[in-house]
A and B are shown apart, each in its own frame.
Chain A
């Protein structure tokens, strides 16, 4: 029988190594954000209120491009839509958690905490709801504070780093590193290719509409290939 206390400890140990992934992303986000002209308070505002690396990078890049506000919001939220999937897939395991726990769980539902927790919950269906909640909080106990602290350090460093070290290219590198391992199937590769080709073809459209068109067409491509050939 897992007590909440031992579940928390278990989650803490399982989540620990993922700090290694969170630290560089937070440092780079902090540096890129302040380099792009955000104040330290605004950089921290992103990491504390949004707490979603890919969407934060997207927003900062589009802010630097001076894209219209609704395009920034639409695109960044689209990057986060995958979290609806996380929310739905954790619902059978955490949907019965208390009224105060569920908003906290939702706030800290990031790629890492989702992946680690869902694997654990599927493997140990006998866990009680309170043990699952404790496990989840254990997983994020280091990840979330490190996300804040390293964003702050990165923001300070970003103001100190002179131009010319290619820091402008930190966002493409961080994004490509996230996307390349996700190209698992033909459908994923096709979606990414359509996105690239259309984004380049429509780059001249005003209001970054090219980005929206390319992303929607790519999403349809991936989903249709999966539906026709793999389901």
Chain B
């Protein structure tokens, strides 16, 4: 990364303050006001909206290969999704994906 130390520390501090504000919001500041139903509906989908958008390019065009699609990484990603979806087990999915990646990297 090329950012200066000051920029990185600014990001860490701002994320710390922002995250705390989100967590403290209803517990500490807004009292017993309730979130409206439409807001709850959007909040429910933030993780499944943001995270796939963030990682899709990393899976298809990994920086480590200079952006060329790589079979070992694609298979590993597919294994994680499959195991995670079927078993609902986060750790099992990570273990299966890591194993698939190590095998794939040594084979291809």
Write the residues of chain A forming the contact surface with B, with a CB cutoff of 8 angstroms.
Answer: 20-21, 24, 36-39, 42, 45-46, 49-52, 54-55, 58-59, 61-66, 69, 72-73, 75-88, 90-92, 94-95, 97, 102-103, 105-107, 109, 165-166, 168-169, 171-183, 187-188, 191-196, 198-200, 203, 210-211, 214-216, 218-223, 226-227
Contact = CB atoms under 8 A, between A and B. Distances in A.
A32 B73 CA distance: 17
A143 B90 CA distance: 17
A178 B90 contact: yes
A175 B90 CA distance: 10
Q: Closest 10 interchain pairs by CB?
A: A180-B84, A49-B16, A222-B45, A218-B49, A177-B93, A214-B53, A106-B24, A199-B53, A195-B53, A87-B26
B45 A103 contact: no
A229 to B, nearest CB: 12
Contacts of A36: 1
B47 A54 contact: yes
Given A73-B18, A80-B22, A84-B22, 10 more contacts: A64-B63, A69-B3, A82-B46, A87-B24, A91-B30, A94-B27, A169-B101, A195-B51, A221-B49, A226-B41
Contacts of A85: 35, 40, 43-44
Interface of B: 1-3, 5, 7-16, 18-20, 22-28, 30-32, 34-35, 38, 40-64, 72-73, 76-77, 80-85, 87-91, 93-94, 97-98, 101-102, 105
